[in-house]
Amino acid sequence: MATVPLRIDILTIFPRMLDGILGESMIKRAQAAGLVQIRCVNLRDYATGVHLSTDDRPYGGGPGMVMTPEPVFRAVEALRGPDTQVLLMTPQGTPFKQAVALDLSRQSHLLILCGHYEGVDERIREALVDREISIGDYVLTNGVIAAAVVSDAVVRLLPGALGGAGAADDESFTTGRLEYPQYTRPPVFRGMSVPEILLSGNHGEIAKWRLQQSMARTQARRPDLGG
Ligand code: ADE
């Protein structure tokens, strides 16, 4: 199958924070295989003035610093194309879910803005951002960690990124349920046995058992999923 590589640009003042994450494991392989092109762009490269500053004190007073519009506008205008989705990582965004990851994996270019400090100048939101995303109800020191989470969840959904075909089809949240328990060798470990059914070779019964386990687990742990 011909795949058009996804491009992900992550705009941050801490580009090196992502070196380890992007340079290892599945994300590394997906880049090497040409499925995705990920670049960390230093926001400071678009800053002007002697201090190349990217933040300033909030009008109206209050604690902390706010990201200034100028370097962000310059960067976004230089990097975006006609098909770019501009994302802002912020705890005020829509909750990041598997369905959002799937939607993003079908885009051609994601430009992810990472908020820092107390927040970003509201004009950035109003004029540049297509979608605001939160990875959970807690506050991180900066959005680059959230951008890494989103990138990882998106890249693994690209066709060809995971080893086995369909590896992403059966898992938690894709089915709307939590995944069933998994086992591998040995069949008995420190007195704990693998359920007999999984050793039976009866694929129909195994599928039934897995569905029932998955439903029971979802009901017990995440009844809000409605699985
Ligand atoms: N930046 C700070 N906290 C965040 C969160 N929970 N989600 C996304 N971006 C963030």
Using CA atoms, how far apart are residues 71 and 46, in angstroms rounded to an integer?
Answer: 5
* Residues in contact with ligand 1 (CB, 6 Å cut-off): 89-91, 115, 134-136, 138-140, 143, 146
Instruction: Count Cβ neighbours within 10 Å for each residue of 90-124 and write b for 16 or more, e otherwise.
Output: bbebeebebebbeebbebebbbbbbbbbebbbeeb
Q: What is the whole-number distance in angstroms between the Cα of residue 155 and the centre of ligand 1? A: 19
Closest atom, ligand 1, to C-alpha of 138: 6
Of the candidates 114, 56, 66, the residue with the CA atom closest to the CA atom of residue 90: 114
Instruction: For CA atoms 28, 32, 35, 36, give the dihedral sign.
Output: positive
- pLDDT score of 3: 55
Residue for token digits 């959002």? 100
Summarize the confidence of residues 208-219 as an average pLDDT: 98
Summarize the confidence of residues 186-194 as an average pLDDT: 98
Q: For residue 88, what are the CA distances in angstroms to 91, 127, 169?
A: 10, 12, 28
Q: Residue 2: pLDDT band by 50, 70, 90 thresholds? A: very low
Distance from first CA to last CA of the chain, Å, rounded?
33
- Domains of the chain by start residue, with CATH: 6-155 (3.40.1280.10), 170-227 (1.10.1270.20)
Closest atom, ligand 1, to C-alpha of 115: 1
CB atoms within 10 A of CB 126: 9
Q: What is the whole-number distance in angstroms between the Cα of residue 92 and the centre of ligand 1? A: 8
> In the predicted model, is pLDDT for residue 136 greater than 80?
yes
Question: Which of 92, 94, 139, 141 to mutate for ligand 1's pocket (most ligand atoms within 8 Å of CB)?
Answer: 139
* Tokens (6 digits) for 180: 């069933």
Q: What is the whole-number distance in angstroms between the Cα of residue 15 and the centre of ligand 1? A: 16
Q: Whose CA is nearest to atom 7 of ligand 1?
A: 134
Q: Whose CA is nearest to atom 5 of ligand 1?
A: 91
CB atoms within 10 A of CB 61: 6
Summarize the confidence of residues 146-175 as an average pLDDT: 84
> In the predicted model, is pLDDT for residue 164 greater than 70?
no
Q: What is the whole-number distance in angstroms between the Cα of residue 90 and the centre of ligand 1? A: 4
| 17-26, 76-85, 181-190, 212-221: the lowest-pLDDT one | 17-26
Summarize the confidence of residues 17-38 as an average pLDDT: 94
DSSP string, 177-217: SPPPP---S-SEETTEEPPGGGGS--HHHHHHHHHHHHHHH
Q: What is the whole-number distance in angstroms between the Cα of residue 26 and the centre of ligand 1? A: 23
> Directed axis angle between helix 25-32 and helix 143-155, to 10°?
60
Using CA atoms, how far apart are residues 172 and 174, in angstroms rounded to an integer?
Answer: 6
> How high is the mean pLDDT of the chain?
93
Q: Report which residue type is found at 13.
A: I
* Tokens (6 digits) for 164: 């086995």
Pairing outcome for strands 119-120 and 109-114: unpaired
